[in-house]
A and B are shown apart, each in its own frame.
Chain A
Amino acid sequence: MINARTSDKIATFIFYAMAVSVSLILLALVGFILFNGLRVINLHFLTSPPSAFRAGGGIGPQIFNSFLILILTMIFTIPIGLGAGIYLAEFSRENRWTRIIRICTETLASLPSIVIGLFGLLFFVTVLKWGFSLISGALALTVLNLPVMTRISEDTLRSVKNELREASLALGATQWQTIVHVVLVAAIPGLVTGVILTAGRVFGEAAALLYTAGITTPRLQFYSWNPFNSNSPFYLFRPAETLAVHIWKVNSEGLAPDARQIADGASAVLIIIVLFFNIAARWMARRLYKKTTGI
């Protein structure tokens, strides 16, 4: 029996080694990105526009575009995804329709993001003639994000205790009143956490934006705030290269002599923002949970 014991010890050791090395690899990755990036990042880099052929360009417009597309995407995704989630969790019965909805959600979730980008190129950019634009990019990301949002909403709503629903219905509330005033309120911590986590994913997405939001940005004039004005930064039909797309572009075109520094800095900014979303999601979840449960 010594054999079995020794092999048990060896196996345990190997599992520990795997766990430790995974953690070290991640530490090395993040450390490497931050170390290289933070040497490049300064106020000028974060705010000024990129310069095409000379060194010293920044990533200001790209950061702005990333946040703008993120907000637009969320404006579309949250109501639709939440609505579909409510339908699946509260109204649907196990019938053919529900099965079809589930199959579609699953199919949509598993599509490679470049395929969704190509659909955007075909439909939003070409058929609807919106061109490479903020709106095309935001809608492509909505398609990408919708199945995730739907699943998070459904799961979170399903985790709300049935007693709450029954109490509300027993008091004479309609099903819709129960959903809006009881179930959604109880589900808020889970929903907020889910939304922030998907925001991180949307923020870093590039493949779906390459052919929808485009890989260029016009000069942004921040004195023009009217979104219907074609030179406004908020004009929905202007091309909008995001931070993630920019990292790809400086590497594949490589016209700027300091492409390496730009990619280092932009990667660090991207990672910091995504990590911030991660931490914020955890923090919000804890805080809102305390608030709504009163513990």
Chain B
Amino acid sequence: MVDQKLTNRLGRAFTMLCAGFIILTTLSIIVFIASKGLSTFIVDRASIRNFLLTTVWRPDAPKSEGGPLIGALPFIAGSVAVSLLALIIIAPFSIGVAIFMSEISPAWGRKILQPVIEVFVGIPSVVYGWIGLSVLVPFIRNHIGGLGFSLLAGSIVLAIMIFPTIASVSTDSLQTISRDIREASLALGATRWQTIRMVLLPAALPGILTGVVLGLARAFGEALAVQMVIGNAVRMPDSLLKPVHTMTSIITMEMSNTVMGTVWNDALWSIALLLMLISFMFIMFIRFIESRGAAK
């Protein structure tokens, strides 16, 4: 006969260990990335100001030319531009689909759009990148202009990738609104569109905003799909049709070509650290929205 009390204790201890493991993993990721990323500023004595605010990326430039020059602003600006543009392209559309699924035709939504969204989520990011590379880039080159590898191509690929995130979170948010509110509005003589616009959208706003920020976070962190279509040129984003670089694409391209411990390599880790800090900011922002939504 096994001692059930002992098994009970051991079982509980095991689950606590697993939960503890998650904390340990999270903390070690933060510590490892931070220690590498900060060494650019502590060991190599580069200035954080130059890193964040200058635009010349020549980490191998010799001292005589004022090097190493590690201006990461082009990558930061590239990431911001490509993600925001993706959001502008797709957010209205995603919210529209969410409204369709929860208000216009829930049956259709469940039967057709729900599986459609799941498949969109399931398609791996390199496949999105590959379609972007083989269809979108030539299309832009032949019909719009430029090389094809461009800010625009990156944004469109990202837009399709973040569509399911925004659409499904917004749908959930709309569906949690109580029926009474809808019925009250309709009973007052409002049409469905008036109800959606003046009652439901304001009520679902915190949830929709959460979806939008989650989409933005996903766009910001996406690496390979963007890197494949964006052209990878170190320059400030000033045209939709010209190639740029993003924080993730520069890491993807240069991490393996540089030796650990060099300034160049350290600077890439600093970009990774910045990427991590930005993703923390997104979480805090979402928590803030949710706590305000709950307070109401």
Question: A and B from one assembly?
Answer: yes
Is the C-beta of A180 less than 8 angstroms from some C-beta in chain B?
yes
- Docked complex Cα distance between A264 and B131 (Å): 9
Q: Please, which residue of chain B has its CB at the minimum distance from the CB of A7?
A: B193
Number of A residues, CB within 8 Å of B? 87
A86 engages B108 (CB within 8 Å): no
Q: Does A200 contact B (CB under 8 A)?
A: yes
Residue of A18, A25, A244, A267 ringed by the most chain B CB atoms within 10 A: A18
CA distance A203 to B125 in the complex (A): 11
Q: Across the interface, do A176 and B7 meet the contact criterion of CB distance under 8 Å? A: yes
Residue ID in chain A nearest B26 by CB atoms? A104
Query: Which residue of the partner chain, among B8, B112, B125, contacts A176 with CB atoms under 8 Å?
Result: B8
**Could you mark each residue 252-272 of chain A with 1 if its beta carbon is under 8 Å from any beta carbon of chain B, else 0?**
100000001001100100110
Q: In this assembly, does A188 line the interface, its C-beta being within 8 Å of a C-beta of chain B?
A: no
Residues on A with C-beta less than 8 A from B19 are: 83-84, 87-88, 92, 101
* B127 proximity list for chain A (CB < 8 A): 33, 204, 247, 267, 270-271
With both chains docked as a complex, state the minimum distance between the C-beta of B82 and any C-beta of chain A, in angstroms. 14
Please state if A206 and B125 are interface contacts (CB–CB under 8 Å). yes
Number of interface residues of B (CB under 8 A): 83
- Residue pair A25, B160 in contact (C-beta under 8 Å): yes
Does the CB pair B223–A114 fall under 8 Å? yes
The reply to whether B130 and A247 contact each other, CB–CB distance below 8 Å, is: yes
B130–A275 CB distance below 8 A: no
CB pair A22 B97 closer than 8 Å: yes
A200 to B120 Cα, complex, angstroms: 12
Asked if A126 and B260 make an inter-chain contact with CB atoms under 8 angstroms apart, the answer reads yes
A112 touching B96, Cβ below 8 Å: no
Partner of B275, one of A4, A115, A260, A263: A115
Of B41-49, B60-68, B214-222, which binds chain A? B214-222
Q: Chain A's interface: helix, strand, loop or mixed, by majority? A: helix
Closest Cβ of chain A to B146, distance in Å, is 20
Complex: chain B residue closest to A123, CB-CB: B32
Contact partner of B12 (CB less than 8 A), chosen from A33, A91, A210, is A91
| In the assembled complex, A19 has its CB within 8 A of some CB on chain B | yes
Check if A207 is an interface residue, CB within 8 A of chain B. yes
How near does chain A come to B47, taking the closest CB pair, in angstroms?
Answer: 23
| Cβ-based interface call for B88 (8 A) | no
**Which A residues have a C-beta under 8 Å from some C-beta of B?**
4-5, 7-8, 10-12, 14-16, 18-19, 22-23, 25-26, 29-30, 32-33, 79-84, 86-88, 90-92, 100-101, 104-108, 110-116, 118-119, 121-123, 126, 143, 146-147, 150, 174-177, 179-180, 200-201, 203-207, 210-211, 244-245, 247-248, 251-252, 260, 263-264, 267, 270-271, 274-275, 277-278
